[in-house]
Amino acid sequence: MKAYKRNLDAIDHTQNRYEDKQFLHMHPYDPEILETVRDDFLKPRTCKEFIEWIDTHPHYDVVAEASSQYIRGTSKAQAFWQVADIDADWQTINNDITNYCVENEVDTKFNTDYTEEWRIHEMEEQKTYVPFRHNSELDNQRKHGFEKQYQLIEVTLTDVFPMLKRIEKLFEFEWAKTDINYQPTSGAFPRHVDFLSTGFKRAVEHDPSIANARYNPLTKCPDGWVLKRILIPTDHWFPGQMFSFEEHNWTDWSPGQVIDFNWAHCRHATANTSYNARPLVKITGLVKEDHWIAKGEYRKFSI
Amino acid sequence: MKYIELKTSLLSHIKDLKPNDFYLLEGKLIFKLKSNADIVKKYLQDKDYKVVQTSVRNWEHWQGKYESILYFKDLEKESNG
């Protein structure tokens, strides 16, 4: 099989800029439009066909909303759940993150703009980790006043956080990518669902068997694989820090808790109305269906 | 339970209910006609589901008009994984 390579230059992003109001959408979304887009989303596609479809879709934000099959009333246990505990020197890890943020003015220069501006690393350093943040999604969020969301410190691209890379390896994800999702005071990221596209796209580009696998629009994963994103706080919860999954809330977290969640269907949102920054390690990758985390098992780790 | 599974089930069990009679909006079922919402509500309640019914705020930017919303209070026994 021949490797699939996306032609990023062929994507026309101009129609997504928020200067062009024609392509922005009012909330709440029109239910009939959502149903039409959902029907399109459910059409059979291979993974590479799906990536091309969504990459060039001018209304990413509508596709994302339509991709959720969540039914209100679903239990908390189906929204998010703890999969592991990691015993580590979290105080040192958290101090390293805090110092990095001070040095890089992460808190003081806090404004979530286009990808080349809101990530800590320059785009040139991200050649094999093309960030996926479709402009139509960001445009709509900014249009509604969400201009300070969070900052992404891309652990995978640095040698600054060796302990976090050790933690990443505990989970044996393929196509793993680890970031610190660092939300300074006053940050708010509006409710959304994910596609976990950054790692998924790398897998599609480098593994022809995944590129040609069927994309399952209900799991939002390649057939035979499970896309996973786990969240690990490096600091204790502070009053005013919020993390919601639809009608359920995660609170009072502790360093080393590992949370898995229904990223594909549960609208999730964060806000930091405390006076302490809120760092979370976020590890994303692919596992096979027989991986312990895909089976919903729980593990304890010590490093 | 996923929306598509719920919709398929409702359409197969409730005579005269059509795909375009209701949609999904932020986890809730939104109906064009209250009479259809009433029928679906009764069907679900007969199956022991806790269902809440509300009126609809129709927005100017929507193409259609809607009369009723249904949502569940407890789907503990179901899976949405």
Q: Do B4 and A246 touch (CB under 8 A)?
A: no
User: What is the distance of C-alpha A77 from the center of its chain?
Assistant: 20
Q: Indicate if the pLDDT at residue A23 is higher than 50.
A: no
Q: Residue A269 has what pLDDT? A: 97
DSSP element (H, E) containing B37 = helix B34-46
Residue B80's pLDDT band (cuts 50, 70, 90)? very low
Question: Going by DSSP bridges, is the β-strand pair A188-192/A241-245 parallel, antiparallel, or unpaired?
Answer: unpaired
Torsions phi, psi for A37 (to 5 deg)? -65, -35
Residues A185 and A106: beta-carbon distance below 8 Å:
no
| pLDDT, tens only, A251-261 | 999 999 999 99
Sheet holding A214-216, edge to edge: A45-46, A214-216, A221-222
- Least confident stretch, A51-55, A95-99, A228-232, B75-79: B75-79
Q: Tokens for B32?
A: 């064009």
Region A51-61: mean pLDDT is 81
Q: Residue A99 has what pLDDT? A: 93
Average confidence score pLDDT of chain A: 86
Q: Residue A229 has what pLDDT? A: 97
- A74 lies within 8 A of chain B by CB: yes
| Other residues' Cβ atoms within 10 Å of the Cβ of residue A35 | 20
Q: Residue A19 has what pLDDT? A: 43
Torsion-angle region of A270 (φ positive above 0: left; ψ -120 to 50: alpha; else: beta): beta
In a domain, A7, yes or no: no
CATH at residue A193: 2.60.120.330
User: What is the distance of C-alpha A9 from the center of its chain?
Assistant: 23
Residue A116's pLDDT band (cuts 50, 70, 90)? very low
Please give the ipTM for the structure prediction: 0.93
Residue of chain B whose alpha carbon sits nearest to that of A76: B76
Q: Residue A20 has what pLDDT? A: 46
Partners of residue B62 in chain A, C-beta under 8 Å: 30-32
Give, in order, the Cα–Cα distances in Å from B70 to each of A290, B31, B51.
Answer: 37, 8, 7
Q: Indicate if the pLDDT at residue A152 is higher than 50.
A: yes
| pLDDT, tens only, A210-247 | 999 999 999 999 999 999 999 999 999 999 999 999 99
What is the C-alpha to C-alpha distance for residues A189 and A150, in angstroms, rounded to an integer?
Answer: 7
DSSP element (H, E) containing A215 = strand A214-216
The residue with greater pLDDT, B59 or A56, is B59
In Å, how far is A27's CA from the nearest CA of chain B?
A: 9
Residues B79 and B38: beta-carbon distance below 8 Å:
no
Q: Residue A26 has what pLDDT? A: 79
Partner residues linked to A284 by β-bridges: A177, A229
Residue A48's pLDDT band (cuts 50, 70, 90)? very high
In Å, how far is B40's CA from the nearest CA of chain A?
A: 15
Tokens 């929507």 sit at which residue?
Answer: B62
What is the C-alpha to C-alpha distance for residues A269 and A252, in angstroms, rounded to an integer?
Answer: 16
Q: Indicate if the pLDDT at residue A89 is higher than 80.
A: yes
Q: Tokens for A33?
A: 């439009």
| DSSP-H helix ranges across A18-152 | 31-41, 47-55, 60-67, 90-103, 115-118, 135-143
- A71 lies within 8 A of chain B by CB: yes
In a domain, A4, yes or no: no
Residue B79's pLDDT band (cuts 50, 70, 90)? very low
Q: Residue A124 has what pLDDT? A: 58
What is the C-alpha to C-alpha distance for residues A269 and B9, in angstroms, rounded to an integer?
Answer: 31
Residue A48's SS3 state is helix
What is the percent of chain A with per-residue pLDDT over 70, rounded to a whole number? Answer: 83
* Nearest residue, CB atoms, B23 vs list A34, A68, A72: A34
What is the C-alpha to C-alpha distance for residues A164 and A186, in angstroms, rounded to an integer?
Answer: 26
Q: Residue A265 has what pLDDT? A: 98
Partners of residue A190 in chain B, C-beta under 8 Å: none
| pLDDT, tens only, B23-78 | 999 999 999 999 999 999 999 999 999 999 999 999 988 989 999 999 999 887 54
Q: Residue A27 has what pLDDT? A: 84
In a domain, A5, yes or no: no
Q: Indicate if the pLDDT at residue A117 is higher than 60.
A: no
Q: Which residues contact A210 (CB under 8 A, 6 or more apart)?
A: A47, A203, A204, A222, A225, A286
Residue A283's pLDDT band (cuts 50, 70, 90)? very high
Nearest to A227 by CA among A180, A274, A291: A291
Q: Indicate if the pLDDT at residue A14 is higher than 60.
A: no
Residues A247 and A72: beta-carbon distance below 8 Å:
yes
Kindly report the pTM of this predicted structure.
0.90
Partners of residue A28 in chain B, C-beta under 8 Å: 25-26, 59
* Residue A234, domain extent: 16-302
Residues A66 and B65: beta-carbon distance below 8 Å:
no
In a domain, A100, yes or no: yes
In a domain, A164, yes or no: yes
Residue A68's pLDDT band (cuts 50, 70, 90)? very high
The C-alpha angle B27, A238, A131, rounded to 5 degrees, equals 60
Q: Do A78 and B64 touch (CB under 8 A)?
A: no
Torsion-angle region of A51 (φ positive above 0: left; ψ -120 to 50: alpha; else: beta): alpha
The count of structural domains within chain A is: 1
Nearest to A66 by CA among A80, A53, A47, A81: A53
Q: Residue A156 has what pLDDT? A: 80
Q: Indicate if the pLDDT at residue A129 is higher than 70.
A: no
Residue B15's pLDDT band (cuts 50, 70, 90)? very high
Q: Give the A:B interface size as CB pairs under 8 Å.
A: 83
Q: Do A74 and B61 touch (CB under 8 A)?
A: no
Which of B11, B24, B63, B79 best tests the A interface by mutation, with the highest count of A CBs <10 A? B24
* Nearest residue, CB atoms, B25 vs list A26, A34, A78: A34
User: What is the distance of C-alpha A191 from the center of its chain?
Assistant: 12
| pLDDT, tens only, A182-215 | 999 999 999 999 999 888 988 998 999 999 999 9
Three-class HEC string of A169-201 = HHCCCEEEEEEEEEECCCCEEEEECCCCHHHHH
